[in-house]
Amino acid sequence: VARTLLVTRLDTIALLEDEGRPDARRDIRDGWIAIDGPAIRAVGAGAPPADFARADETIDGAGLVAIPGLVNTHHHLFQTLTRAWLPAANCSLFPWLEALYPIWARLDDEAVRLGCLIGMAELMLSGCTTTADHHYIYPERARGGLDAEVEAGREMGIRLHATRGSMSLSKKEGGLPPEAVVEPHDAILAASERAVRAHHDPARFAMCRVGLAPCSPFSVTPELMRDTAGLARRLDVTLHTHLAENAEDVAFSLARYGRRPVDSLDESGWLDARTWLAHGIHFDDGEVARLGRARVGVAHCPSSNMRLGSGIARVQALRAAGAPVGIGVDGSASNDSSNMIAECRQALLLTRVAHGAGALRVEEALRMATVEGAECLGRDDIGRIAPGFAADIALFALDGVEHAGCHDPLAALLLATTTRVHTLIVNGRVRIRGGRFVDFDLDRAIAAHRATARRLVGA
Ligand SMILES: [Zn+2]
């Protein structure tokens, strides 16, 4: 028998439903959410349904605001180990990577696991219930990195889209990464298939799915892009990669292959809804239209784009063309945080810098971080507070000093200083209560992570 959970007396439930109009929004005041096993059974206002009077667990939501659990569409969780590292603190993408590759080459499986635990904990404390991760580095002692990541996801109880990344084009062959962190073509394909067979769950409400993710045009060959797309189609899984992140990245493709990024994508068999791209900043008008028509998703990573000085993604043009645009914190070494609610704030502000205050509304930024993020990941069972959807819900208390005098709860979440989640429910299970994990020792994990991080950079 499935466990039942009732959340009552919620100050506000933000449904973020637009019925086709991006400026529309619907809230429920004095609301309740009835949860049955992993799924939401009903949502309403006033008195909850009689058959939930004896729910297995009841949460008093008085004073709390409920939003759909946030969906992070791009991360490299292992990078929490190399945050705010001075030699890479003031660089653009290529020199930043070249400074960090030799450090990451020293990773082992346990370091990856700890990096993932900390990144996932930070995400969850910011209201995130689903995260994608792009794990693309498999040095000698970290060959089991993806398995370590999946294990960390299970321990944290976060919904995980782990992508089996790869690098095959070393510096010697004209790429950017050193020999020590690239893998042979055939070994990558074999490991990718193994990862899918070991960890991918296609079922509704799945807690772990696996996608395939060659890293970027300057670290993989076009042959690997093409063969990975074929494998993804055969195994029916998603595809993910970095594209058009900065001007140098585009220049590399033009110089080496004589093609713009989206032409390369098309040529490799990637131009369809199975694919979502990280960053996607430097697309011309024709490329934006093609991506929209093909419904290719884009993970917008505003903090990283600002931190590395990469540029401003054409978020509203992509959305208008038909491409779902999710929000991603990106790897922690270029953010340097894994705070999804703060990332929504950055997305809101950065688009306004480029296009004016009316360019992106508060509720649209939250829709990108929920419904559209889910679409990027190819899911129709998460991202909404509605019957039949997964019970992934973040509850925030807005009673601290940073929200004193705030009126609208959604505007308060994004315009005021961001705050930690009060209660987090993932797949119908309470993971955080009163701002603390119910069964995870965060302080202990931080101590172990800190020691590993120091050892990794040789401090
Ligand atoms: Zn990235």
Q: Decide if pLDDT at 215 tops 80.
A: yes
Q: What is the pTM of this model?
A: 0.97
> How remote is the CA of residue 3 from the centroid of ligand 1, in Å?
38
* Distance from the alpha carbon of residue 309 to the mean position of ligand 1, in angstroms: 14
Q: Is 333's pLDDT higher than 90?
A: no
In the predicted structure, residue 48 carries a pLDDT above the cut 70: yes
Q: How far is the CA of 427 from the centre of ligand 1 (A)?
A: 27
Distance 277 CA to ligand 1 centre (A): 10
What pLDDT, on the 0 to 100 scale, is given for residue 228?
A: 98
| Predicted pLDDT at 23 | 63
Neighbours of 179 (CB within 10 A): 10
Ligand 1 centroid – CA 215 distance (Å): 8
Residue 170 pLDDT level (bands cut at 50, 70, 90) = very high
Cα 161–chain centre separation = 9
Find the mean pLDDT for residues 426-443. 98
CA of 375 to the centre of ligand 1 (A): 19
Instruction: Examine the pLDDT at 427 and tell me if it is beyond 90.
Output: yes
Confidence of residue 24 (pLDDT cuts 50, 70, 90): confident
Confidence band of 17 (pLDDT split at 50, 70, 90): confident
Separation of CA 216 and ligand 1 centre (Å): 9
Determine the distance separating the centroid of ligand 1 and the alpha carbon of 241, expressed in angstroms: 8
How many Å lie between the centroid of ligand 1 and the Cα of residue 289? Answer: 23
**Which of residues 20 and 63 earns the better pLDDT score?**
63
Whether residue 20 is predicted with pLDDT greater than 90 in this model: the reply is no
Q: What is the pLDDT of residues 90-121, one digit of tens each?
A: 999 999 999 999 999 999 999 999 999 999 99
Task: State mean pLDDT over 336-343.
Answer: 96
Task: Point out the least confidently predicted range of 1-5, 22-26, 126-130, 270-274.
Answer: 22-26
pLDDT value, residue 25:
83
Which range (19-28, 82-91, 131-140, 175-184) has the least confidence?
Answer: 19-28
User: What distance in angstroms lies between residue 199's CA and the mean position of ligand 1's atoms?
Assistant: 22
pLDDT tens profile 118-147: 999 999 999 999 999 999 999 999 999 999
Residue-wise pLDDT for 366-401, tens only, equals 999 999 999 999 999 999 999 999 999 999 999 999
* % of the chain with per-residue pLDDT over 90: 96
Q: List pLDDT tens digits, range 269-295.
A: 999 999 999 999 999 999 999 999 999
Distance 183 CA to ligand 1 centre (A): 19
What tokens does 313 get?
A: 């993604």
